[in-house]
Amino acid sequence: MSRFLRTIVALVLGSAFLAVLSPAPQATATAARVLKYDASRAAEFRGVVDQAAQIWNSSVSNVQLVAGTPADFVVYADNGWPRAQPTSLGRGYVWMGRQATSQGHNPLRIATHEIGHILGLPDRRTGRCTDLMSGASAGTSCTNPNPNTAERAEVERNFAGWPVTPQVEFNKIYEDRALEPVR
């Protein structure tokens, strides 16, 4: 065998040997999408907005909420009912309405719920306290501010980086007014 042919065979066999011994390339983790929020106009609700952001940060991995400007979403305080207006995924406006807290609804649950709309979740008036997006339909005794497994998974899908259509409608104002009792 010629020297040239032996060299080629050695290179091919050596490459094959290294390929077998080398570990498979690891999938690279997708960096979390950072969303900035501005709670400077949230008045007495500023602290609970920061807590709600931390709840979302500990619940999902591919989106991270940080206080800062320029903001992707802005949180206001007013005397109306809490509401959110997502303008696109991760962007929009939240109003922490004092009317709900004066009626006994939990401010931290409200803040986490309204941010859920910004993250692509619609209202789901199930009445269950375990469902964050059931909102006021769970009643004033419900203080659970944590998204459930399905809600967390939906936010993860919304920010996974591949085309997905969030179930929230953009430019719609989501006002989660408590349902009136049927008479």
Q: Which residues are catalytic?
A: 114
Dihedral of CA atoms 68, 43, 110, 54 in degrees, nearest 10, equals: 30
Residue 82, preceding peptide bond in cis (omega within 30° of 0)? no
Dist. CA 181–CA 68, nearest whole Å: 41
Dist. CA 115–CA 168, nearest whole Å: 12
What's the angle, vertex CA 30, arms to CA 25 and CA 34, rounded to 5? 160
Residue at 11: amino acid letter: L
Angstrom CA distances, 129 to 51, 98, 120, 134, 167, stand at 19, 21, 20, 7, 21
